[in-house]
């Protein structure tokens, strides 16, 4: 029985209890959200090391980190080191987007070592395997694709990104409108090439019930991918993007009817003033399904700083109701991220998520900031570092910039406002 089917039957599962404990809400609140489809708990029955988390309405905004091999860097050990960094940086989910080396072996190692939800995009592997077998990715059959999807599900993958909303009808529309960047989703581009070559409908759309059957068997959460997401600001919120979203809303309904959990992926590049509207449209068309956004990036001109552009957009999106932020690293648009890039991307997205949680009134969010304020007033550096979003970086900067162990920081020194006011007002700060 899937988490959703159990919730609909009135059952509170161990995973629901664990999510409630972590979120500081009641188990019944979680059960109701899972039953309604406004909360998902990606928890494959075969992912034995998982500590489940919830994504959706009324819960803390979650952050995903992407790792994975490429044809240029096929070493899985390098990606497992990144996984350790992802866990240390407290991301809530990780996606294995591997396209090089021993993909099956790498995925299984990641699932063994990951205590957080693991997602994949099975179509990457399906196309690559067909290139190796037949000399052309385009010769893939629907059965080839579903065989790879089942392999991922049986291995224990908690959520899969599937581009079910890229249909022949929508591709006809995109040909008749002017887009600067066309299709930037790898999965979306693979499917587009296959559909146009064969003149056949998207198998993930046409055989959607077959996909739902696999999800029911292993309790895999669908992440309905935005294959036509905008790749630049000029393409944002256009007809192709919205038409795909309408289709995804219909597919959410069908998943819920079968008892399969589903969330919906959102755009990547969106002007700041369009972000809230994008979230509202998704929530309306998809009836409150959890919304997973890539950034979104609010400008196209910042290679090297795209973790910042994504954090700006992510804050606005999450404050408007987005539930799940996919991180963007400083190397986005430039190359495969390093371990340090991964950490920087996670911290930027976690900062955006927390800023939004303050707005949304998520339990515990404001209390965290109040504790930090009290520690600052007391000049309690140990407590400030403990409470910091990134204690490791905060401790390093404190140590490097204050070598003499000054009571105040070296920016203000003897003129520390906190210290002066405390002395003259005779107030005893907390945490002393």
Binding region for [4Fe-4S] cluster = 409, 412, 416
| Cβ pair 62, 82 in contact under 8 A | no
Binding-site annotation: residue ranges for substrate: 66, 95, 124, 163, 185-187, 226-229, 265, 292
- What is the CA 159 to chain-centroid distance, rounded? 11
The tokens describing 296, both together, are 């979104």
Binding-site annotation: residue ranges for Zn(2+): 269, 333
Binding-site annotation: residue ranges: 66, 95, 124, 163, 185-187, 226-229, 265, 269, 292, 333, 409, 412, 416
The sign of the CA dihedral 371, 376, 382, 385 is positive
Q: For residues 374 and 171, what is the distance between their CA atoms, to the nearest angstrom?
A: 56
Q: For residues 141 and 427, what is the distance between their CA atoms, to the nearest angstrom?
A: 74
The sign of the CA dihedral 144, 66, 170, 318 is positive
Q: For residues 78 and 82, what is the distance between their CA atoms, to the nearest angstrom?
A: 7
Q: For residues 357 and 268, what is the distance between their CA atoms, to the nearest angstrom?
A: 21
| Cβ pair 51, 20 in contact under 8 A | no
Residues 320-344, buried b or exposed e (16+ Cβ, 10 A)?
bbbbbbbbbbbbbeeebbbbebbbb
**Coil vs helix vs strand at 165:** coil
| Cβ pair 72, 66 in contact under 8 A | no
Q: Which residues contact 97 (CB under 8 A, 6 or more apart)?
A: 66, 67, 68, 120, 121, 124
- As a residue count, the chain comes to 432
Residue 118 phi, psi (nearest 5)? -115, 130
Start-to-end CA distance of the chain, whole Å, equals 52
Residue 39 phi, psi (nearest 5)? -130, 140
Q: For residues 73 and 87, what is the distance between their CA atoms, to the nearest angstrom?
A: 21
| Cβ pair 339, 79 in contact under 8 A | no
């Amino acid at each position: 029985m899937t988490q959703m089917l159990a919730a609909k039957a009135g059952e509170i599962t161990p995973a629901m209890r664990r999510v409630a404990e972590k979120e500081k809400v009641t188990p019944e609140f979680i059960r109701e959200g899972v039953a309604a489809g406004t909360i998902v708990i990606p928890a494959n029955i075969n992912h034995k090391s998982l500590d489940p988390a919830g994504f959706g309405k009324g819960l803390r905004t979650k952050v995903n980190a992407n790792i994975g091999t490429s044809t240029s860097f096929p070493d899985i050990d390098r990606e497992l080191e990144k996984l350790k960094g992802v866990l240390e940086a407290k991301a809530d989910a990780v996606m294995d987007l591997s396209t090089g080396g021993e993909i099956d072996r790498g995925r299984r190692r990641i699932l063994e070592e990951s205590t957080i939800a693991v997602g994949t995009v099975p179509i990457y592997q399906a196309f690559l395997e067909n290139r190796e077998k037949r000399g052309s990715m385009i010769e893939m059959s629907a059965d080839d694709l579903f065989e790879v999807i089942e392999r991922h599900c049986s291995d224990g993958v908690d959520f899969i990104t599937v581009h079910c909303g890229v249909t022949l009808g929508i591709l006809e529309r995109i040909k008749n409108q002017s887009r600067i960047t066309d299709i930037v989703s790898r999965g979306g581009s693979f499917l587009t090439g296959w559909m146009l070559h064969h003149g056949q409908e998207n198998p993930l759309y046409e055989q959607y019930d077959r996909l739902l059957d696999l999800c029911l068997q292993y309790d895999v959460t669908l992440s309905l991918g935005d294959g036509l997401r905008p790749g630049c600001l000029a393409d944002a919120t256009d007809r192709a993007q919205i038409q795909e979203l309408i289709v995804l809303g219909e597919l959410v309904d069908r998943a819920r009817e079968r008892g399969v959990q589903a969330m919906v992926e959102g755009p990547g590049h969106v002007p700041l003033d369009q972000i809230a509207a994008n979230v509202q449209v998704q929530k309306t068309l998809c009836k409150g399904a959890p919304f997973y956004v890539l950034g979104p990036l609010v400008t196209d001109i910042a290679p090297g700083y795209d973790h910042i552009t994504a954090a700006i957009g992510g804050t606005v999106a999450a404050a408007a109701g987005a539930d799940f932020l996919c991180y963007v690293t400083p190397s986005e648009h430039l190359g495969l991220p390093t371990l340090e890039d991964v950490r920087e991307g996670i911290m930027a997205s976690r900062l955006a998520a927390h800023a939004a949680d303050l707005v949304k009134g998520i339990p515990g969010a404001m209390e965290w900031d109040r504790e930090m304020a009290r520690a600052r007033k007391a000049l309690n550096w140990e407590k400030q570092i403990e409470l910091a979003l990134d204690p490791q970086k905060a401790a390093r900067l404190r140590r490097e910039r204050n070598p003499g162990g000054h009571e105040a920081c070296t920016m203000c020194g003897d003129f520390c406002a906190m210290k002066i006011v405390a002395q003259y007002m005779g107030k005893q700060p907390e945490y002393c």
